[in-house]
Structure 1
Amino acid sequence: MPLIHRRIGLLFAGFVGLLAFAGFKASWLGTVKATTLKHAATTQQVSEITVPARRGAILDRHDVELAVSEPADDVAVTPYLVKDVPRAAKVLAPLLGADENDVLRKLARRDTGFVYLARQLPAQSGAAIAKLAIPGVQLIPTNRRMYPRNQLASQLLGRVGIDGHGLAGLEYSRDAVLRGHDGTRRLTKDALQQPIAVQDTVPAEAGKNLRLTIDAAIQSKVEAVLGAVGQVYRPKGATAIVMDPRDGEVLAMANWPRIDANDPSGAPDYARQNRAVGFNYEPGSTFKPFTVAGALGDHVVQPDTKFELGDTIQVADRTIHNNNNEPGGIFTTEQILAQSNNVGTITIGLKLGAKRFSRWVNRFGFGRPTGIDLPGEERGQVLARSKYSGSSMGNLPIGQGISVTPIQMADEYAAIANGGMLRPPRVVGAVGGVPTQTPPGKRIMSARTASDLRAMLEGVFAPGGTASEVSIPGYDLAGKTGTANKVDPRTGQYSTFNYVASFVGFAPARHPQLLCAVMVDEPQGAIYGGVVAAPAFGQIMAFALPYLRIPPH
């Protein structure tokens, strides 16, 4: 009996000790750890999530939607909370637009407490998933960027990453105003992580809309014309710009090949580039008017100044021929420009002299960005006067040994068209409903020089001119063709196979209201600007002039 009593006593003492410890622990948890435990419990039940701001829309000048944001959901899961994994995978897969086995693998993971099942799922699909109330599956509100016109102006608009930040084009350069300010939302959840109460603590502030200077109808026509050029001449790429030379507003900026802005992943890198601002090339004969402009500005020549020219010219150790070995003869300045005579243009450049030529090139703004409100603009390249060789004046006056971008050439010709003022082109017309200011211009040539050039450039479309086969009934046109050899990167010499064909022009010739520049990189089957690029200019202007109700003559 004593042994039994001792055992009972020990059991009783142990029970009392455990009871005392439990009481102490309960008291400690209720006092010392109360705040910490309360916070942990609240955190499990209440969480704050970021509510992305609705990204501002991008519109054309007539409020046609080019880029918009619509509500969407990221779908995530806490795998260990999913009770019936096979069934959940079966019902979720079609709503996610995913393979059932892929969903099954994600739901079956036990090495993580958070897995994305889908990003930026359309809100309609998200609502259907919410109705399923699958334990562990949660919806995180977000937005997804959509481009209603698909391929239209895709390189200009750019794209947005999965995190909502702009990655290219206007989406990148204007990201700060488009993105807005995110808000905060407090969610109260049950034990299975399903929301039972929602409260916005900080409302999201939507981004501002951008209204562009772009006209969707003109943009669409330009892209169609470039598409036809692409089919016929199979070039490496092509670009066209339409702008109002009076104020620098860009009405169209197109690139070929086109890419689908809603699915750019399959496009090669070069196709995503906005070549209008990012492609350097030698302008060739489209540069010749600026050689003549310098000579006119310094009163070295007049439009009717006559030159007796051969079919070649020797500059230091270099012999330069006319295009197609055209014969020499007596030519006026106007004829030299209209017929794109190499020997005559170099003769004018030599008459001007290297020092003054270099000064005019810098005054015109070559070798500097235009300042257009787009990212990725190249500045082109201009040879410093100190680096001129003996033969430099045998190639620079005819647009060799200097590089430009399409937007630079459009902007420079706009100065000829508007009376001599160079101003930054622009594609954004208003931000959040507030119009942007027209940038001030800088005079780069006299009004008289610009007027003389406009008259001379009409000759390009006259019989014997390099674009004589292009015409638009009722309209007088002015412009210049360009055909430039590309430098072979393997040899460092000019290629005899690869060329850039280009054309820049405006109308009406005497009182210009519209300008178009076309550049075609490495066309196949034909190489001349008058054959490849000038007809594209004609087709674009034949649509745009009456569309904009610009009267003939």
Structure 2
Amino acid sequence: MRQSNSSSARVRLFPALLLCFGFGAVGAQHMRLATWQRGEHLDVAAGYDRLTHRVTIEARRGDILDRGERVLARSESGWWMTLTPSLLTESPAFWVEVSEVTGMPAEQGITLARRKGSGVEWQEPLDDNQRARLIEVARRYRVDGVGFRPAGVRTYPAGSALAPLLGFLDGGKPASGVELGLEQFLRGRDGVEVGFVDRRGRTLPWLEDRAQSSPAEDGANVVLTIDRDLQTFASERLAEACEFHGAWQGVVIVMETRTGNVRAMATWPTFDPTDPVPARQRALRGETASPEMNPAVAVVLEPGSTFKVFTIALGMETGALTEQSVVSCRGSMPVANHTIHCALHGSPGHGQVTPERCVEVSCNVAAATWGMKIGHKSWYGFIERLGILERPNVSLPGELKGRFNWQEYNKQLQVATVAFGQSLNVTPLMLASAFTVFGNDGVMVRPRLVERIGDAEQPFPPATRVFRVETARAVLGMMKRVVEGEHGTGRALKIEGVEMAGKSGTAQKRDPETGKMSRSLYVSSFVGYVPGNSPDYTVLVMIDSPTKNGYYGAAVAGPVFRAVAEYLLRSTSREQGGERSGAVQGTGSRPGA
């Protein structure tokens, strides 16, 4: 009996040992293929052209965020369907099912399979569910010619309000704006997967060619200094003004006066960043500016009478004038065979004009008189020191330098016209930067648009002392007369109970055909501080070539300034009342300031 049990145990043990031996042999074979003979098999496969699996693993594009880390641009998951005709079937049933999932006509798929040409992509992005359904359809019909690659569909939650600033993608490639300017950080680095594949196209991990494969590195997120809500509000008000006045283009810039952080950079015209084709077509027809161009940095304009405050400050610094200096204005004055006129609004002349009155009523004659007294050497040194002609350097493509003729032969006329903001062309962003000087006790801060790239905080550009503290404060006081003075050009912009300071500007443009100063083309501007007594924000509005309903800066650009100022004041009031708003929050200060 014991012998029988022993025999039975040996009988049962034998299959178990055989099974273990089998598993061991398979494991050893797997180990041999995956380790010792792995390279040999990869070489053999490559020789027979069986190592055909080389797939690019696309990096995810980084997000663009506002200062509160709210999304401004993001790549959502999506897929392009790729079709390899030589590996497809002509089965109508297969293509009917593909059509039900994708919307692709079944006849188109059958024609493609018969043609046996080069691979194509179906140009409608698919979601994860559609991809999964197509994989199952291809598995059931044993079709190998259906593949997928990430579509990287880019979404822009703020829509057209930020389009000229953020830019857009054209065929997956950046075409303008931050998308193009910071492409090296946003794009990341694609990976690659090389090795054997099974019938369903999946990589066999133990036969992956690790020497040629590499993982994808996703792009870095970029945090801007922009406030999305403020940007949207400014963009809407600017669009209303530009359309009402039939303008060619316009800009609103809001900067923190003490840090240079750009809180809003709204421009018009704008476009749908997910479909820029209509905007491009309008630009080609000459109806609007190009969507690839941001006028805040890629256009240079004359500052007009806004620049008179720099004339007065420079005159005070050089001793060419004092706060008590007086010029007699009769409405015009001859300068080097030219005549300089004042915009008199119906009066014969401004009479006796002090620096304060010059700012309040915007007197060209007084500004030109003091400009010539300052002299071209002081002017040239000042313009260079101010840096207003430099590129903004905020990582946007197409940034321009300002223009100024350093070799002008008629220097007397040049400095006379520079004194009231002509003969000098600057980008709106650099003009806004220059105006921080009067709200910041004589120190000019340069614009800062990018707060962080990945985890790396971006530095503040260097600040420059331009005027003495007492000079800057004196001129700021004069700018209050523009809004609060009885004859101020911006008196209609006053906000009850709020101290305000600003300066209007109306610059004649040259006729592009004749090259002479036009009597119908102007740049209408208004720049000011919010609030006027302790300027947290510098706000610049420039509207280029208004063609109807007026052209004076205070009347055209001024209402936009007032609306933005009211928005900022409401936001500040909510914060001081304890409410946390998604909009503008405290301005902070520069490190070390």
Query: TM-score normalized by structure 2?
Result: 0.81
SS in 1 for 2:153: strand
- Say if 2:440 is the partner of 1:418: yes
1:196 positional shift? 4.1
| 1:136-215 aligned within 5 A | 136-163=145-172, 165-186=173-194, 188-190=196-198, 194-197=200-203, 199=205, 202-215=214-227
323, 327, 330: which one pairs with 1:307? 327
Comparing 390-399 with 521-530, which one deviates more in the overlay? 390-399
Counterparts of 1:371 and 1:304 in 2: how far apart (Å)?
A: 39
1:521 positional shift? 1.2
Counterparts of 1:432 and 1:93 in 2: how far apart (Å)?
A: 41
1:373 positional shift? 3.3
Counterparts of 2:94 and 2:195 in 1: how far apart (Å)?
A: 23
- CA, structure 1 residues 51+457, in 2 after alignment: closer, same or farther (shift >3 Å)? same
Counterparts of 2:505 and 2:114 in 1: how far apart (Å)?
A: 63
Determine what percentage of the aligned residue pairs are the same residue: 31
The answer for the alignment partner of 2:248 in structure 1 is 236
1:60 positional shift? 0.6
The answer for the alignment partner of 1:19 in structure 2 is none
The aligned amino acid for 1:39 is A
Deviations 1:111-151 (A, max 9, x none): 33x22223754434333322221441111235232212222
484, 502, 505: which one pairs with 2:528? 505
The answer for the alignment partner of 2:556 in structure 1 is 532
| 1:127-526 aligned within 5 A | 127-133=132-138, 134-163=143-172, 165-186=173-194, 188-190=196-198, 194-197=200-203, 199=205, 202-268=214-280, 269=283, 270-272=289-291, 273-324=293-344, 326-328=347-349, 329-384=351-406, 386-462=408-484, 463-525=486-548, 526=550
Counterparts of 1:144 and 1:321 in 2: how far apart (Å)?
A: 56
1:89 positional shift? 4.6
- CA, structure 1 residues 342+186, in 2 after alignment: closer, same or farther (shift >3 Å)? same
Deviations 1:360-419 (A, max 9, x none): 222222322233332321111012155435532342211122111110110010122112
Counterparts of 1:527 and 1:75 in 2: how far apart (Å)?
A: 54
The aligned amino acid for 1:246 is R
- Say if 2:139 is the partner of 1:117: no
1:492 positional shift? 0.4
Counterparts of 1:483 and 1:108 in 2: how far apart (Å)?
A: 67
1:154 positional shift? 1.1
* Runs (5+) with no aligned partner, structure 2: 1-39, 284-288, 578-593
Contact 1:77 1:138 in 2 (8 A): yes
The aligned amino acid for 2:245 is Y
Counterparts of 1:512 and 1:35 in 2: how far apart (Å)?
A: 69
The answer for the alignment partner of 2:71 in structure 1 is 65
Q: What number of residue pairs does the alignment pair up? A: 515
Counterparts of 2:72 and 2:476 in 1: how far apart (Å)?
A: 36
- CA, structure 1 residues 97+338, in 2 after alignment: closer, same or farther (shift >3 Å)? farther
SS in 1 for 2:72: strand
The aligned amino acid for 1:159 is F
* Runs (5+) with no aligned partner, structure 1: 1-32
SS in 2 for 1:184: strand
Contact 1:373 1:426 in 2 (8 A): no
1:261 positional shift? 1.4
Contact 1:371 1:424 in 2 (8 A): no
1:349 positional shift? 0.8
1:422 positional shift? 2.2
The answer for the alignment partner of 2:23 in structure 1 is none
The answer for the alignment partner of 2:9 in structure 1 is none
Deviations 1:523-543 (A, max 9, x none): 122111110101100001100
Counterparts of 2:186 and 2:500 in 1: how far apart (Å)?
A: 40
- CA, structure 1 residues 309+111, in 2 after alignment: closer, same or farther (shift >3 Å)? same
The answer for the alignment partner of 1:28 in structure 2 is none
1:457 positional shift? 0.7
The answer for the alignment partner of 2:30 in structure 1 is none
The answer for the alignment partner of 2:32 in structure 1 is none
- CA, structure 1 residues 142+52, in 2 after alignment: closer, same or farther (shift >3 Å)? farther
- Say if 2:86 is the partner of 1:80: yes
Counterparts of 1:486 and 1:66 in 2: how far apart (Å)?
A: 35
1:495 positional shift? 1.4
Comparing 468-477 with 124-133, which one deviates more in the overlay? 124-133
Contact 2:144 2:201 in 1 (8 A): no
- CA, structure 1 residues 230+88, in 2 after alignment: closer, same or farther (shift >3 Å)? farther
Comparing 227-236 with 77-86, which one deviates more in the overlay? 77-86
Contact 1:96 1:118 in 2 (8 A): no
SS in 1 for 2:77: strand
- CA, structure 1 residues 244+86, in 2 after alignment: closer, same or farther (shift >3 Å)? same
Counterparts of 1:510 and 1:87 in 2: how far apart (Å)?
A: 76
Comparing 539-548 with 322-331, which one deviates more in the overlay? 322-331
Contact 1:256 1:271 in 2 (8 A): no
Contact 1:475 1:507 in 2 (8 A): no
Deviations 1:201-228 (A, max 9, x none): 5332222111111111111110111121
- CA, structure 1 residues 106+538, in 2 after alignment: closer, same or farther (shift >3 Å)? farther
Counterparts of 1:419 and 1:362 in 2: how far apart (Å)?
A: 20
Counterparts of 2:231 and 2:41 in 1: how far apart (Å)?
A: 66
Counterparts of 1:492 and 1:105 in 2: how far apart (Å)?
A: 60
Counterparts of 2:107 and 2:309 in 1: how far apart (Å)?
A: 66
Contact 1:185 1:198 in 2 (8 A): no
Counterparts of 1:527 and 1:386 in 2: how far apart (Å)?
A: 29
- Say if 2:134 is the partner of 1:126: no
The aligned amino acid for 2:503 is K
1:44 positional shift? 3.5
Query: TM-score normalized by structure 1?
Result: 0.87
The answer for the alignment partner of 1:542 in structure 2 is 566
Deviations 1:262-307 (A, max 9, x none): 2122213524121111111111111211111210111221223222
1:507 positional shift? 2.0
Counterparts of 1:484 and 1:131 in 2: how far apart (Å)?
A: 66
1:87 positional shift? 4.6
Contact 2:394 2:448 in 1 (8 A): yes
The answer for the alignment partner of 2:34 in structure 1 is none
Counterparts of 1:54 and 1:180 in 2: how far apart (Å)?
A: 7
Contact 1:233 1:523 in 2 (8 A): yes
The aligned amino acid for 1:118 is Q
The aligned amino acid for 1:140 is R
- CA, structure 1 residues 339+100, in 2 after alignment: closer, same or farther (shift >3 Å)? farther
The aligned amino acid for 1:168 is S
